[in-house]
Structure 1
Amino acid sequence: MGYPQEETLVYDIRLSSVGPGQVSGTDVFHSPTGLDLTMKLHYLRTVYFFDNEVAQGITIMRIKERMFSWFNHYFITCGRFRRSESGRPFIKCNDCGARFIEAKCDKSLDEWLEMKDWDSYKLLASQQVIGPDLSFSPSILLQVTHFRCGGISLGLSWAHVLGDPFAAFEFINTWGRSMTYLDLNKPINIPRPVPKPTGHGPQTEPVSSKRVDPVGDHWILPNNCKMDTFSFQLTGSQMNYLQAQIWGPSGDQTPPFESLCAVIWHCVARVRPGFEPKTVTVCKPDPGHGNDIIGNNQVISKVEAGGETSITETDFKVLASMLAEQGIDERNQIEEAMEKDEGVADFFVYGANLSFVDLEETNVYDLELKGKKPRFVYTTLQGVGDDGVVLVMPWPKGANKNGSDGKFVTMILPEDQILKIKSELKINGLLLESDF
C-alpha cells in the first residue's frame, strides 16, 4: 500500500480537549516514581473496534459528557509535565485535559480488519509523543474513528510514564462503565510526593534497562535501525499443538505464554547468528498489585541463558522452563538506578533486551459499550529499542467457530529481520502462509 493511499484512509480529523468536570485544586502536583520515569520513552497504543449495532446512538457529545466525570477519578492524566529545579519531571495537575480526536474512514469495519495492514493501525491512535514543549504535551490522547458502515474504533494513546498496560486497560474500562452511568466506585488517584532520595545506587546494575544519551524534553527513544511491526493470530488448536510438540503427553507443562515465547526466542536467535539474545526481559502482571491506581507495577525480570549456551541448539522445553522459573525481578534495581540520578537520566526497558510482554490475562476485552465487548482489540508499543519486543495478547473469547480461544501476537523488530523471522515462525508452525 502506497503512502498517498494510506493518507486517505483516515481523514476529516478534528481536535479538541476533554478534562475533569471538577477543578482539581491549585498547586496540586504528582511525582512519578523512578520506575515510572524509566518508562517515559515508551508509549502504549491500543485500538478497540465496535460494530455498527453498538455504535448507534453513541454520539461524540455523549462520549465527552461521560468523560468529565471519568476524569474526576483520573485527573492526574489531564495534567502537564514540568521540571523541578533539579530537572526531575513531575506533573502539574492543572486540568489541561486529554486530547480528543475525531476522524472518519471510508472503509467498512469488515474491510479494515480484513486488510491486516498492521502499519495502518497507527492512523487510528495518535502517534504523538511528549515534548519538545512539556507544558503543552498531553499524556493521554483519545481518537474516535467512524467507519463507513457505522462502526467505530476507539484509539487510546497512553504515555507509559503514567502506568503499565494493566493500569491503562483499567483506565479505559472505567470509561466504559461511566458510559452506562454506573457509579464508578473507584478511589480517586492521589498525587504522589517526590520520593525521598535513597543516597545510593543499585548494588548491581539492572540488565533489563539501558541508559541512553539525554533526550531533553522530547521523550522519544532514538533507534539505530528502522523498526517494523507485524502481528498474527494463533488459534486454540495451534496453541494446543505447540504445547504438545514441546512437552508431549506430560502434565508438567509450563504456561502457554512461556512455551510460545521459547519458540519465538529460538526463531529470533536463528536470524541473529553471532548475536544471539542470551539475555531476555520478561514483563508480567504483579499478582499482588491492583490496577485501580495509575503507576508502573508490572514485574520486569531478566532471564539469562549464560554465555556458553547456544539458544538455537537449546531444546524448547529448556528455554520455556528458563522463562517460567529463572526470571529475576529487577524493579528495585531499575528504581534505584533512576533515583541515583535524581530522576533526570534517560533509560528504556522495551527492546533493551529482546523483551516478552505477557498481556494474555489482561482485562483488555472488558471495555463494554451497550453491554457488548469489542469485536477486536489491537495493541502495540512506540519507542522500542533495537532488540525488539513481543506482545502476547488474548484473542477474543468465543471468536473462533470451534469455540477454542487462542492468542494474538505483535512483534516489533528491526525491519531487515522481519522476513527471516517470519520464515522461522512458519517453519515452527506459528505462522501460516496467509500471515505473510
Structure 2
Amino acid sequence: MAEVSLICKRTVISTKPVQPGKFCALSALDRLMEHNYLHVVFYYQSTMERNPGELTKKLRETVAEMLSAFPIITGRLFKTPEGHWTIKCNDAGMRMVEARAKGSVEKWLQNLDRGKELQLVHWEEMFHKPYFWSTFYVKVTEFEEGGIAIGLSCTHLLSDPPCATMLIKAWADMTLGGKMITPPLFHPLPGRRPGNTNTNHEPYMELIDHYKSFIEKPAPVFNTKQVTILLAFDDEMVKRCITRIAPIESNRTPFEALAALFWVVVSKVKGTKGGLTNMSICLDMRNVLGLDRGFFGNCMVYNKVNGEGIEGHELCKAANAIKEVVGKMDADGIMDLIEWLKERNYQDLPWMNGYDLICVNLEAVDSYSAIFEDNARPLRVSYYIEPAVGEGQILILPPPVGGRNTFGRVVMITLPEDEVNKLLEDALIQEFSPTVLMGLNKMHSSTSL
C-alpha cells in the first residue's frame, strides 16, 4: 500500500446557485501570473476520536457552503473577444480529492521532503478546452493514526498566496462556526487616488523596467531537479540576525534581515562573482493600495534588488539594498506599473518566477487562524509557487507560534539539490542554528544545524 491512497475524486458545487450571466474580469496583475500555480498544505492534529471518513464528510459539506461566497472558484475560464481570460461564473464546481495516509500526521512531519509533501496536493494542467478545466482543487487526506492534511492547488491567474490562505480560512470558519468572518470581495484594482493626476508625473521606471525585462525573456528551461527545505528561526535567532546586520540601527525588519541572509548565502553557494546573484523581491501590495483584507485577486508585485558590487560577507549592504527597494514601492509606483501593463496589453506573458532568485514576503498571511475544530490550530503550513524553475525561491513565512507579532519566522527555500546541501553547511546559516523542519529526506531530523 502506498503512503497516500486515493479514495475518490468528486466535484463539489456551491449550496447556492450562481447568478446567470455573471462574469469576473481579471486584472493586469492577474494576467501576468498565467504560467504559474500554487500549492498550499495545512496540517492538523485530531481533537477527537472519529470513524474513518467522518471528518472528510463534514468538510465536504462545509466546503459547499463556503463556495457560495466564491463564484470565481466554481466558474470556468473564458476568453474575451480581446483575447483576455475572464471567469464565467457558473455552477461547474470545484474538484475535491479524498485520500488516506499511513501513520499519524506527527510521524509524517518527522520525515518529510518536497516529493512526499506534494503527495498531499492534487493538480491537473489546463485542458486543451479550458472551459472544462477546474481552476481550483482541494485534497483532504486523513491519517490512519490521527490527523489530517488539507492541500489546495490553484492557478496563480486567479489567486495569490494571501487569497489561497483566505479561502482555507473561510472554509475553516464555516466548519467551526457556520459563518465566514472575512468574506471575499471581488472588485477591480483601485485607480489613482483623487488629486494624484499630475500631468508632469514621472513614472517609477525601475519597477516597469523590471517587468519589461521579464516579458522580453524566453521561456525558462525545466532541466534541474529542485529541492525544498523548511527552516525555523525563533525570536532570538532573528534578533541576532538583525544585530549581525545592523548593530546600531534598530529599525531592521525580520524580512529584511532574513532576505539579506539568504541572498548572501545563496549567492555564495551558486558561486556568483562580482556581486550577489540577481534577486527579485515579491511583496503584497494590499495595504499600500488601501485594499480591504477581503480583496480577492493578485496583488503581489515583484521588483529587482541590485546586488552588483556587494561582497558575500556584506550582510548590511544586502539588507540596505532590500530596504531601499521596499521603500520605493509606494501606491503611485504600483499604479504606474498597472497603467503601463494595461497600455501594452501583452499577449506573450512572462514566467514571473522563472529567471531570478525570488524572495517572497508572506509574513502577513493569516495561515494559523484557519481553525476547523476547537483548539486545533494548524501544526504547520507550507506554500509552493510553481513551477520551481529559475535561480530558486525563498519564502519568508510566519511561525506556528506567536504569529507575525513575534520576530520568529519560517523560511522555505527551493534550490537545486547540490546547492541545498551547500546552504545547510554554510557557516552563516550554522551561526544562527535554525531548526530543520523539512529537508533532504529529513537528513537533519528536526534538529538545529
- TM-score, normalized by length of structure 1? 0.84
How far apart, CA to CA, are the structure 2 residues paired with 1:44 and 1:36?
A: 13
Q: Deviations over 1:49-99 (max 9, x none)?
A: 111216848533322222222111101111111223333222121221111
**1:138 aligned residue:** 134
Structure 1: gaps of 5 or more residues: 1-6, 196-200, 216-220
Q: 1:177 Cα deviation (Å)? A: 0.8
Q: What letter corresponds to residue 260 of structure 2 in structure 1? A: A
The answer (yes or no) to whether the contact 1:141–1:158 under 8 Å persists in 2 is: yes
| Superposition pairs of residues 390-409 of structure 1, within 5 angstroms | 390-397=394-401, 406-409=408-411
The answer (yes or no) to whether the contact 1:24–1:93 under 8 Å persists in 2 is: yes
**1:415 aligned residue:** 417
**1:358 aligned residue:** 361
Q: Secondary structure at the match of 1:176?
A: helix
Q: Secondary structure at the match of 2:228?
A: strand
Q: 1:222 Cα deviation (Å)? A: 5.2
**1:310 aligned residue:** 310
Q: Secondary structure at the match of 1:59?
A: helix
> Do the aligned partners of residues 405 and 397 (structure 1) sit closer, same or farther apart at CA in structure 2, a change above 3 Å counting?
farther
**2:370 aligned residue:** 367
Q: Deviations over 1:210-264 (max 9, x none)?
A: 237898xxxxx7535332222222222322322232233x352411111111111
Q: Deviations over 1:183-223 (max 9, x none)?
A: 32655644769x9xxxxx996743156237898xxxxx753
**1:241 aligned residue:** 240
Q: Secondary structure at the match of 1:265?
A: helix
**1:387 aligned residue:** 391
Q: Deviations over 1:121-147 (max 9, x none)?
A: 000112333344312221111111010
Q: What stretches of structure 1 move > 6 A for 4+ residues in a row? A: 201-204, 212-215
Q: Secondary structure at the match of 1:53?
A: coil
* 2:29 is the counterpart of 1:26: no
Q: Deviations over 1:142-195 (max 9, x none)?
A: 1110102121111111321112211221121111111134332655644769x9
**1:198 aligned residue:** none
Structure 2: gaps of 5 or more residues: 192-202, 436-443
The answer (yes or no) to whether the contact 2:76–2:135 under 8 Å persists in 1 is: yes
How far apart, CA to CA, are the structure 1 residues paired with 2:10 and 2:243?
A: 52
Q: Secondary structure at the match of 2:320?
A: helix
> Do the aligned partners of residues 15 and 85 (structure 1) sit closer, same or farther apart at CA in structure 2, a change above 3 Å counting?
same
> Do the aligned partners of residues 335 and 110 (structure 1) sit closer, same or farther apart at CA in structure 2, a change above 3 Å counting?
same
**1:37 aligned residue:** 31
How far apart, CA to CA, are the structure 2 residues paired with 1:234 and 1:185?
A: 30
* 2:95 is the counterpart of 1:99: yes
How far apart, CA to CA, are the structure 1 residues paired with 2:366 and 2:123?
A: 23
Q: Deviations over 1:253-281 (max 9, x none)?
A: 41111111111111111123346545422
Q: What letter corresponds to residue 98 of structure 1 in structure 2? A: M
Q: Deviations over 1:382-410 (max 9, x none)?
A: 123312110011121169xxxx8732111
Q: Secondary structure at the match of 1:384?
A: coil
> Do the aligned partners of residues 235 and 181 (structure 1) sit closer, same or farther apart at CA in structure 2, a change above 3 Å counting?
closer
> Do the aligned partners of residues 421 and 83 (structure 1) sit closer, same or farther apart at CA in structure 2, a change above 3 Å counting?
same
> Do the aligned partners of residues 267 and 213 (structure 1) sit closer, same or farther apart at CA in structure 2, a change above 3 Å counting?
closer
- TM-score, normalized by length of structure 2? 0.82
What is the count of residue pairs matched by the alignment?
412
Moved more, 333-342 or 82-91: 333-342
Q: Secondary structure at the match of 1:289?
A: coil
Q: Secondary structure at the match of 1:141?
A: strand
